[in-house]
């Protein structure tokens, strides 16, 4: 199959959506499919797919811009800045299928009129509202295949769009149990480490994480991520968690070692579409503290012991305390994680796309 993956952040950022789709693209290319990737970052060596750089303005440049439909966020502004270059580089007839998780602008560009149009697949990495909402720009959404990253999305959309339930995955060669290296990251050696891997935006609730850890006597909070609330988080931590808070921005190559340097993993989003970070923490042997939901229990299975109502402060603090008492597993393979290996996930993408092409 001839496939195109397009997303503004490819090769520029290593956020959840970029990591997930590039991992699928990599495995499909290794399996023999002709895969092209278009993104705004620089080329990288040693990859099995063809990469084409398409310029875009970083979303951080748009944080002070006005927001209105369809430019609802700095992410949408970034997406819009990506489209002129994408339209110049994209030839629909060269591909059997095109894949993105960015709506509306990249999605619109990939559906431009052509005599030979590829199948257009949308992946619900950041939510499924484009597939079912009927207001404003969402009324324009169309796709030939919808990849649903959790059962809720599949149930809601399967009657309207050809759909498949395909979760995200994890690189089990990189994320695994083992010894950490706190000195490498400047982390204290004499305190338990609580790790959050979250953007500093309201839905990730980093501020609530700071408030919860502040109620523990000696825990040290490390937040790997950036975003508009970075200064507010730093100010709050200086006030109620002095000397026990660090924000780090690391390349993807450093993240496995950071996970192995922590004692527990904390993630406070109330309802993630999927959340690659849960798998990365699980594979690294970390107890996962998160908001109790059917979706997260579906992901973690038997590893759901430390889910709670994270909006209740006392329950959250007590759950963090219990997780710290268990601590990180340093040896052996995390039970059940193997079903989320990227080769397994990519095989499900290949099966879904092949079935759609056969049906056409």
CB 221 within 8 A of CB 246: yes
pLDDT in tens, 124-148: 999 999 999 999 999 999 999 999 9
Task: Output the six-digit token pair for 119.
Answer: 């199948």
DSSP state of 258: H
Same domain, 130 and 43: yes
pLDDT, position 283: 95
Same domain, 99 and 117: yes
In a shared domain, residues 120 and 260: no
Q: How many CB atoms lie within 10 A of CB 217?
A: 7
Specify the pLDDT at position 331. 79
SS3 assignment, position 280: helix
pLDDT tens readout for residues 205-235 = 999 999 999 999 899 999 999 999 999 999 9
Question: What pLDDT band is residue 43 in, cutting at 50, 70 and 90?
Answer: very high
- The pLDDT of residue 56 is above 80: yes
Tokens found for residue 203: 């839905």
pLDDT of residue 141: 97
Residue length of the chain = 360
Measured CA to CA, the distance from residue 2 to residue 328 in angstroms comes to: 42
pLDDT for the residue numbered 114: 92
The token pair at 313 is: 């402060």
Model pLDDT, residue 123: 98
Percent of the chain residues past pLDDT 90, beyond the cut = 88
Percent of the residues in the chain that have a pLDDT greater than 70, as a whole number: 99
Same domain, yes or no, for 216 and 94?
no
- Mean pLDDT across the chain: 95
Least confident of 14-28, 302-316, 333-347: 333-347
Q: How far is CA 89 from CA 38, 82, 85, 134, 252, in A?
A: 9, 11, 6, 31, 27
pLDDT of amino acid 218: 92
Residue 104 domain-assigned?
yes
Indicate whether 335 pLDDT > 80.
no
Q: How confident is the model at residue 333 (pLDDT cuts 50, 70, 90)?
A: low
Which residues make Cβ contacts (< 8 Å) with residue 225, sequence separation at least 6? 196, 197, 198, 199, 200, 204, 206, 247, 249
Does 119 fall in a domain? yes
DSSP structure class, residue 241: S
Which of 67, 60, 44, 51 is CA-nearest to residue 7?
A: 51
Same domain flag for 192 and 109: no
Residue 255 included in any domain: yes
Can you tell me the mean pLDDT for 9-29?
A: 94
Residue 349: predicted pLDDT: 98
**Domain-located, residue 174:** no
Averaged pLDDT, 176-203: 94
Query: Which one, of 329, 356, 316, 57, lies nearest residue 176 by Cα?
Result: 329
Q: What does the radius of gyration of the chain's CA atoms come to, in whole angstroms?
A: 21
Count of domains for the chain: 2
Whether the CB-CB separation of 86 and 109 falls below 8 Å is answered with: yes
Please report the pLDDT score of residue 91 as a whole number.
97
Written as six digits, the tokens of 349 are 């993408």
Structural domain includes residue 175: no
Q: Are residues 93 and 200 in the same domain?
A: no
Question: If phi over 0 gives left and psi between -120 and 50 gives alpha, with beta otherwise, what is residue 205?
Answer: left
The span from the CA of 246 to the CA of 225, in Å, is 10
Q: Is residue 91 part of a domain?
A: yes
Measured over the CA atoms of residue 288, residue 185, residue 208 and residue 268, the dihedral's sign is: negative
Q: Give backbone dihedrals phi and psi of 13, rounded to 5 degrees, phi first.
A: -125, 160
Angle at 296 between CA 293 and CA 299, to 5 degrees: 150
CATH number at residue 29: 3.40.50.2000
pLDDT at 16: 85
What is the domain extent for residue 120? 2-169+341-359
Asked if residue 67 and residue 11 are part of one domain, the reply reads yes
pLDDT surpassing 70 at residue 176: yes
| In a shared domain, residues 198 and 229 | yes
Q: For position 59, what pLDDT does the model report?
A: 85
- DSSP letter at 75 equals H
Q: Are residues 163 and 209 in the same domain?
A: no
User: Distance (Å, rounded) from C-alpha 202 to C-alpha 214?
Assistant: 19
Q: How far is CA 319 from the centre of its chain?
A: 24
Q: Are residues 114 and 193 in the same domain?
A: no
Please enumerate in sequence order all residues whose Cβ is within 8 A of that of 343, keeping only pairs 6 or more positions apart, or say none: 27
pLDDT value of residue 264: 98
Q: What is the pLDDT of residue 332?
A: 67
């Amino acid at each position: 199959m001839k496939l195109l993956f397009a997303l503004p952040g490819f090769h520029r950022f290593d956020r959840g959506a970029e990591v997930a789709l590039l991992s699928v693209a990599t495995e499909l290319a290794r399996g023999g499919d002709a895969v092209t990737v278009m993104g705004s970052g620089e080329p990288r060596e040693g990859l099995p797919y063809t990469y084409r750089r398409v310029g875009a303005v970083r979303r951080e440049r748009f944080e002070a811009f006005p927001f209105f439909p369809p430019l609802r966020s700095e992410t949408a502004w970034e997406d819009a800045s990506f489209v002129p270059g994408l339209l110049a580089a994209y030839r629909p007839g060269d591909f059997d299928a095109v894949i993105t998780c960015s709506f509306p602008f990249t999605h619109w560009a990939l559906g431009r009129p052509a005599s030979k149009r590829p199948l257009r697949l949308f992946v619900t990495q950041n939510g499924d509202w484009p597939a079912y909402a009927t207001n404003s720009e969402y009324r324009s959404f169309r796709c030939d295949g919808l990849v649903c990253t959790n059962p809720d999305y599949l149930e809601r959309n399967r009657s309207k769009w050809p759909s498949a339930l395909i979760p995200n995955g994890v690189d089990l060669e990189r994320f695994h149990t083992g010894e950490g290296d706190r000195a490498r990251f400047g982390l204290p050696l004499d305190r338990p480490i609580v790790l959050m891997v979250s953007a500093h935006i309201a839905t990730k609730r980093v501020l609530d994480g700071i408030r919860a850890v502040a109620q523990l006597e000696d825990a040290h909070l490390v937040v790997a991520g950036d975003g508009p609330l970075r200064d507010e988080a730093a100010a709050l931590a200086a006030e109620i968690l002095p000397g026990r808070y660090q924000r780090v921005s690391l390349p993807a190559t450093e993240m496995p070692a950071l996970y192995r340097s922590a004692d527990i993993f904390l993630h406070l989003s109330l309802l993630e579409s999927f959340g690659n970070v849960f798998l990365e923490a699980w594979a690294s042997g970390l107890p996962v503290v998160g908001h109790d939901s059917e979706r997260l229990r579906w992901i973690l299975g038997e590893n759901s012991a430390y889910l709670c109502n994270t909006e209740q402060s006392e329950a959250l603090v007590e759950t963090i305390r219990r997780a710290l008492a268990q601590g990180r597993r340093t040896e052996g393979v995390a039970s059940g994680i193997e079903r989320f290996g990227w080769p397994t996930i990519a095989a499900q993408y290949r099966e879904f796309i092949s079935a759609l092409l056969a049906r056409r």
